[in-house]
Amino acid sequence: MIITLLLNILVLVVAVIFSWLPDVTTLPALLNYDIDGALVTGVGYAKTFFITFWPLGILFQGFTILMLYYVIKIILRFFIGHRAPSHGSN
Amino acid sequence: MRKLKTTGILIVGVLSLFLLPVAVRAEVLYSHTIPLADRTSLVASYLAGNDIGQGLSGYIFHSNFTGSVGSICLGLDAYTSSESIVLDVYNMTGEFTITTILKSSSGVVLGTKDWYGANQMSCFDFTDLVFASSTRYYIASNNLNYSGKDVFWYGKEYGVANDVLYVGSSDVTITNPEILDDGADNKKSKGIIEINSGPAINTTTRIIDFDPQDGEVINIGGAATGTVPFNLHAYINEDDIGNFLSIKVIFRNVDQNSLANGTCGPLDFGLMCSRYSFDLFRGIATTSGDFLFSSTTIMAKGNYRVEASLDTATTFLGVNLGFFTSLGAISDVKNHQFIVGSSTFIGNLSQTIFSQTDSFFASLPATTTSALAAQCNPLAGNFGIRECMAFLFIPDANALKNTFEQFRDGVLVKAPWGYLTRFVVIISATTTTALPDISYNFGPKGPLANVVWNISPSDMLAGGASLLASTTDHNGNTIRDVLEPLVKLIVGLALVFGIVTDLTGSHGNSFRNDRNKGMS
């Protein structure tokens, strides 16, 4: 209860702070090229491919985790600036 | 160094936000309950009865819905006054063939005797009666037709052109609701039937139940090994058609007392082989509804735990990426513990500890605020410091799910980082897209003039998958069964190594650089 309450307050505060920003529902089109649709279709093809060639699917999952890590790093850098991990490419 | 520690703690904290739902029993479920208003699309057809069941009183009920039925109410003739009768629901094949009894009611004692039965609605309660869609059922009771008396179904709105079928709280008008001829006096009357919905229909993709049951002791008659039946009942929601689905079973010999013959497999839960797992299904869900799996496994005597899991999410190293998708991820895990033959002291101890822990955590999401207040009130009779502290500090899984969904919808989708979130959503989706077919026309000349080759990569991939699945070792394990843990281990280690080196900067020799800075 207590941790849930604290998390709710934290989420509420952060959501209020950024409430003025626009929501992103799709990736932007580049030169009239629908990147979002292309990615969705491409990833769908890849997921079909991974059913048979499952090792590639595991590699892809690993890549996804790595991307998630970099996203967290970028968010951390956004909030805490230079105190974020300074090593590596990000 | 302090900077590194601070950022490390922050990263661990943020990572914990994503891992917490997994840690708290992975209860982040996509819940979908059909409201009552949507459960009333029920159509009943009373067919002219001379074709079937002559001499029996009954209805043919044509169901166009899937769901549980709590009770069936009928207008009955009154010759059954004070008789305790049972209503039977029969399975049917084809149009008119009655086969076995699907379910019998728990019995009913009718009310006052009332010839012609006006306004006599008698309800029969059923337990676990589930109607399937587009299926016919024969609803009858031989008890009603006793002693050759003139007993048959009566409708309370006799003579009305369109009678009313009551379903839950709503009505559905049916046409030509003609009752079966009872065969005695050729009466045909209008009938009325009321079918009340049972408990709310749970159409969540989940594991409903499986055998061996929790706490079951399987008698093997003093032998060293015995055959253990495994049956699993799962339900797949139609929204999950097209998604990746994995239903997996893991057997664990918790006391590790069965000695190995040197191989790991279903026949053997040795010291080095105390865990045995197999996939019941892995692939793209193509149909929805109930799925039943059944098999047997030979096991040595001892204490066991069997874990059945159903996952639709992209999970890897415990990270549930389905959190980012709008529907959420499904990760349903159920554990049963059982004993084959005789148990051991260590095995019993392990099972008891697991049961207590499991039941304790499982009770948390169902606990209400009032129950929490009672647990934390020292003056109340059911005060428990352990439960109180747990309720205070262990987050409720459903509340956490809501919190994370608010975080996702309120923060993660905002620009500019919303573009990154959208990217993660796309690449972590489980939906597949059929590969496009390739055609080649050889043209008007040559031996293959005007011949068109159509190549379907999807069919080729499916063929490759079935070929790989058909190649097994002597224990029946496929190539994937054998190699997947190894591949996951390698990829996982590489991932951890990459993240750690990125955090510590060991590739950049940061330690040496720091030391040089200190010396200069």
Least Cα distance to B8 among A2, A84, A80, A32 occurs for A84
CA-to-CA separations, A6 to A10, B19, B340, B371, B385, in angstroms, rounded? 6, 17, 47, 21, 22
Q: So what's the pLDDT on residue B77?
A: 43
pLDDT of the residue at B202: 65
Please compute Rg for chain B using Cα positions.
31
Structure tokens at A80: 């805490």
Would you tell me the crossing angle of helices B457-470 and A35-52 to the nearest 10 degrees? 30
Does A48 map to a domain? no
Out of B406, B468, B498, closest to residue A66 by CB: B498
- Length of chain B in terms of residues written: 520
Residue B519's pLDDT is: 44
In a domain? residue A77: yes
Do the strands B244-253 and B452-455 form a parallel or antiparallel pair, or are they unpaired? unpaired
Query: How many CB pairs below 8 Å do chains A and B form together?
Result: 193
> What is the distance between the alpha carbons of residues B11 and A84, in angstroms, rounded to a whole number?
9
Nearest-Cα distance to chain B for A32, in Å, is 17
Look at residue B116 in the predicted model and tell me its pLDDT.
38
Chain A positions touching B459 (Cβ under 8 A) are none
Contact of B118 with chain A, judged by CB distance below 8 Å, is answered with no
Provide the CA B7 distance to its chain's centre, in angstroms. Answer: 41
As for how many domains chain A has, the answer is: 1
Q: Does position A74 have pLDDT exceeding 70, yes or no?
A: yes
On the question of pLDDT at A62 being above 80, the answer is: yes
CB contact under 8 A, A78 and B417: yes
**Interchain pair A41, B433: CB under 8 A:** yes
Distance of CA B366 to the CA centre of its chain: 19
Q: Which residue of B has its CA nearest to A70?
A: B499
A87 → closest Cβ in B14, B418, B508: B508
**Which residues in chain B are closer than 8 Å to A58, comparing Cβ atoms?**
316, 484, 487-488, 491
Is A36 close to B422, i.e. CB distance below 8 A?
yes
CB B70 within 8 A of CB B126: yes
Residue in A closest to B428 by C-alpha: A64
Encode pLDDT of B387-418 as tens digits.
Answer: 777 777 777 666 777 788 788 888 888 888 88
Tell me if A30 is assigned to some domain. no
Q: Could you tell me if A34 lies within 8 Å of chain B, comparing CB atoms?
A: no
CB B424 within 8 A of CB A71: yes
Tell me the average pLDDT across A31-43: 89
Provide the whole-model pTM. 0.45
Angle at B414 between CA B408 and CA B417, to 5 degrees: 95
Give how far A30 is from chain B: nearest CA, Å: 14
A3 to B395: CB separation less than 8 angstroms, yes or no: yes
CB contact under 8 A, A73 and B11: yes
Q: How far is B410 from chain A (nearest CA, A)?
A: 5
> Shortest CB distance from A48 goes to which of B428, B432, B491?
B432
Residue B446 to chain A, least CA–CA distance (Å): 35
Task: Say which of A7, A62, A73 has its CB closest to residue B495.
Answer: A62
CA of A4 to nearest chain B CA: how many angstroms apart?
A: 6
Chain A from 7 to 26: CB within 8 A of any B CB: 7-8, 11-12, 14-15, 18-19, 21-26
Q: Using alpha carbons, select from B246, B239, B233, B229 the residue that is nearest to residue B128.
A: B233
Report yes or no on A45 lying in a domain: no
Interface of B with A in 365-394 (CB under 8 A): 372, 391-394
Pairing of strands B289-300, B225-236: antiparallel
The tokens for B456 are 């379907």
Answer whether residue A1 is part of any domain: no
Of B164, B167, B17, the C-alpha closest to A71 is: B17
- Tell me the Ramachandran region of residue B347: left when phi exceeds 0, alpha when psi lies from -120 to 50, beta otherwise: alpha
Q: Peptide bond before B35: cis, by omega within 30 degrees of 0?
A: no
CA proximity to B64, closest of B47, B46, B48, B41? B41
pLDDT confidence of residue B494: 92
Residue B220 is predicted with a pLDDT of 83
Residues of chain B with pLDDT under 70: 1-67, 70-85, 94-98, 107-123, 134, 140-202, 255-275, 312-330, 358-375, 380-382, 396-398, 475, 506-520
A56–chain B Cβ distance below 8 A for any pair: no
Domain that holds residue A69: 56-82
Tens digits of per-residue pLDDT, B230-270? 888 888 877 777 777 788 888 877 765 543 333 444 444 44
The verdict on A2 touching B (C-beta cutoff 8 Å) is yes
